[in-house]
């Protein structure tokens, strides 16, 4: 059974600036990937897969250091979003994917939530946080961003 958590966040000014930067970088990646797919298809008559785009992104991170500001999960979800847009287009459920403006790309997806336990080399148990988790104080803790106040709408 899958659960969706819905909540409203109340970030500090600095956190809000960081989130807006992440969204902007993800939007740029979406538009860039869309252009890459179009160019590749015109030249090779083959499609670039999501995984080929992710491999290219690894190389891009070495050149474009601003990509390292954003955690890897939201950047990878950009390609999933683009793949979904193409699938909808080919099923005739939607129009051809287009470039996104600031107004059209206003969210990111954080896929890994919670904590997990693992066995250390010495045999003891350790815990590790994933991309997102909840603090004991009920705040949302996001990697590279910190703890954010939240208000739950549905659990």
Per-residue pLDDT, 130? 64
Alpha helices by DSSP H, listed for the chain, are: 13-44, 50-63, 72-90
Q: The whole model's pTM is what? A: 0.83
pLDDT, tens digit (0-9, with 9 covering 90-100), for 103-147: 999 999 887 666 656 677 888 877 666 667 788 888 888 888 889
Per-residue pLDDT, 8? 86
Task: Provide the b/e sequence for 68-94 (b: ≥16 CB within 10 Å).
Answer: eebbbbbbbbbbebbbebbeeeeeeee
Per-residue pLDDT, 141? 84
According to DSSP, the residues that pair with 45 across neighbouring strands are none
Per-residue pLDDT, 140? 86
CA distance 113 to 1: 15
Per-residue pLDDT, 151? 87
Nearest to 34 by CA among 23, 48, 20, 52: 48
**Mean pLDDT across the chain, nearest whole number?**
88
Per-residue pLDDT, 93? 95
Per-residue pLDDT, 57? 94
pLDDT, tens digit (0-9, with 9 covering 90-100), for 42-89: 999 999 999 999 999 999 999 999 999 998 889 999 999 999 999 999
Q: Is the pLDDT at 155 greater than 60, yes or no?
A: no
**How open is the CA angle 93-95-100, to the nearest 5 degrees?**
125
**Mean pLDDT (whole number) for 95-104:** 95
């Amino acid at each position: 059974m899958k659960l969706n958590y819905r909540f409203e966040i109340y970030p500090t000014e600095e956190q809000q600036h960081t989130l807006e930067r992440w969204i902007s970088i993800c939007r740029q990646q979406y538009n860039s990937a869309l252009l890459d797919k179009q160019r590749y298809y015109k030249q090779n008559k083959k499609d670039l897969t999501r995984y080929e785009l992710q491999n290219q992104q690894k190389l891009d991170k070495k050149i474009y250091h601003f990509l390292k500001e954003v955690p890897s999960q939201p950047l990878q979800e950009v390609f999933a979003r683009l793949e979904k847009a193409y699938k909808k287009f080919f099923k005739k459920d939607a129009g051809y994917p287009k470039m996104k403006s600031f107004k059209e790309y206003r969210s990111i997806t954080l896929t890994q939530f919670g904590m997990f336990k693992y066995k250390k080399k010495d045999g003891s148990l350790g815990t590790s946080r994933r991309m997102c988790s909840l603090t004991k104080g009920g705040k949302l803790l996001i990697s590279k961003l910190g703890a954010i106040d939240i208000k739950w709408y549905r659990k």
